[in-house]
Amino acid sequence: MKKSDNISRIELVALHFVKELKAIFSDRGAILILMGAMLIYPLLYSVGYFNETLTDLGIGVVDLDHTELSRKYTQMIDATPELNVTFELQSLKEAKDLFMQNKIKGVVLIENGFQKSVLSGDQANVAVYADASYFLKYRNEYLAVAYTNAYFSGGISVKKYMLEGNSIQQAKISSDPLPVFTHILYNPASSYGSFVMPGIILIIIQQTLLIGIGLMGGSFSESKDSPFLLPISNRTREIIPYLAGKSGAYLAVTIINIAFAVFMVHHWFNYPDKASALDILMLLLPYALAVISLGIGISTLFKHRESAIVFMVFLSPIALFLSGLSWPTSAIPEWLVAISKVLPSTNVIPAYLRLRIMGVGMEGIKHDLLQVYGQAAAYMILVAIYFTFRIFKEKRRSKLNNPE
């Protein structure tokens, strides 16, 4: 039902806000995407990464030396949190068979003559067979053996220096004259969940919004209705109220999602958090507006609901890759990085991680914040221009069909 021409712009904003909210909550598909997915995905991923780090990977040790030192070395490997010696084997062939059957994740080979080489001061060799097709497992196996080698060698050196008449303190200094102290910042446990989940949550917010808005846009295109309430002669003044009301409806839904996924889930799973809630909202609200504006613009391209789902699902892995979470942007070609700036998540995720994980404060992300506000404004202006041309075409078509 069309409203009179003298209705105020504020009333138009309120009408479109209520109209869009009613449309969202009356569409089961939109509810499932915009709210159901935001309840399920952050929890599902967070529970999946709950253990945070890979520990106790089962490996096999092939000890061809069968001496006291080789057994001690095996025990030291087993004592590492990363590895668990589940099989002590007699040959590499036996180890290979177990590896191919996926009963062990790696193999450590202690060669014959290990103890003799160690006691005589010669270099002893230990071989590590690890599956590099799975980098996290490979990293754990390699680092655990490297740490074991360092401690084992250090112990041998200390004993050697003490036999020469040095005190234990002098022996420790002589065996490691230049010690390296490593301080892991922002993620001390090197947990994978704490590394990946904060950024993944922002991508989930973006993609569910884009899919939900596209779904609603496709439904509206199928209905052949006009999105405007005023008569065609006065619709240009309704563009801004229409966009403001529509955006406000999606922003209201997004704020609920942010409260759950960004604050509650983050707190439940103890992800690093060095920012205030106000600072986080100051970054994420323009982010939400930018995504909503982009979604409204893209939704005008879809003539059917299914088109929105297919396109956005196709876009999701691209958004994840270009975000810099799975691969650093410094290693991505510059032209691809430039294209990726079209997606709000590409600009926001690095700023969000610096703000929340590193605790740089708003001053440290001031440039990024201005970019996000600029992106939101640019998308809104482009959408407004699109609807202006659309109304102009409708007016011209109306005049051709109804000449005076």
The pLDDT, as a whole number, for residue 403 is: 58
Is it the case that residue 269 has pLDDT exceeding 60?
yes
With tokens 């892991």, the residue in question is 184
Residue 404 has pLDDT above 70, yes or no: no
Question: Average per-residue pLDDT in the chain?
Answer: 84
Identify the three-state secondary structure at position 228.
coil
The residue among 59, 378, 81, 34 whose CA lies nearest residue 206 is 34
Mean per-residue pLDDT, 98-113? 89
Please answer whether residues 222 and 27 qualify as being in contact, where contact means their C-beta atoms are separated by less than 8 angstroms: no
DSSP character at residue 117: H
CA dihedral 215, 220, 223, 225 (to 10 degrees): 180
Higher pLDDT, 334 or 156: 334
Inform me whether the pLDDT recorded for 9 exceeds 90.
Answer: no
Confirm if 302 and 308 have CB atoms less than 8 A apart.
yes
Q: Which of 72-86, 115-129, 289-303 has the lowest mean pLDDT?
A: 115-129
**pLDDT beyond 70 at 274:** yes
Strand, helix or coil for residue 87: strand
pLDDT at 353 over 50: yes
- Answer yes or no: is pLDDT of 3 > 60: no
- First-to-last alpha carbon distance for the chain, in angstroms, is 25
Return phi, psi of residue 132, to 5°: -80, -5
pTM exceeds 0.95? no
Strands ordered across the beta sheet of 106-110: 83-89, 57-63, 106-110, 126-130
pLDDT at 280 over 90: yes
Query: In the predicted model, what is the mean pLDDT of residues 219-248?
Result: 78
Assigned token pair, 202: 């922002």
In the chain, % of residues over pLDDT 70: 89
> pLDDT confidence of 359, banded at 50, 70, 90?
confident
- Is the pLDDT at 286 greater than 80? The verdict is yes
Alpha-carbon span 249 to 272, nearest angstrom: 31
pLDDT in tens, 125-170: 888 888 888 888 888 888 888 888 887 877 777 666 666 666 666 6
* Average confidence (pLDDT) over 158-185: 67
* CA gap 50, 191 in Å, rounded: 10
Give the pLDDT of residue 2: 46
* Alpha carbon distances (Å) from 229 to 20, 93, 214, 393: 13, 77, 21, 17
For residue 287, pLDDT beyond 90: yes
Res 220 pLDDT > 50: yes
402 pLDDT above the threshold of 80: no
Nearest to 89 by CA among 74, 76, 100: 74
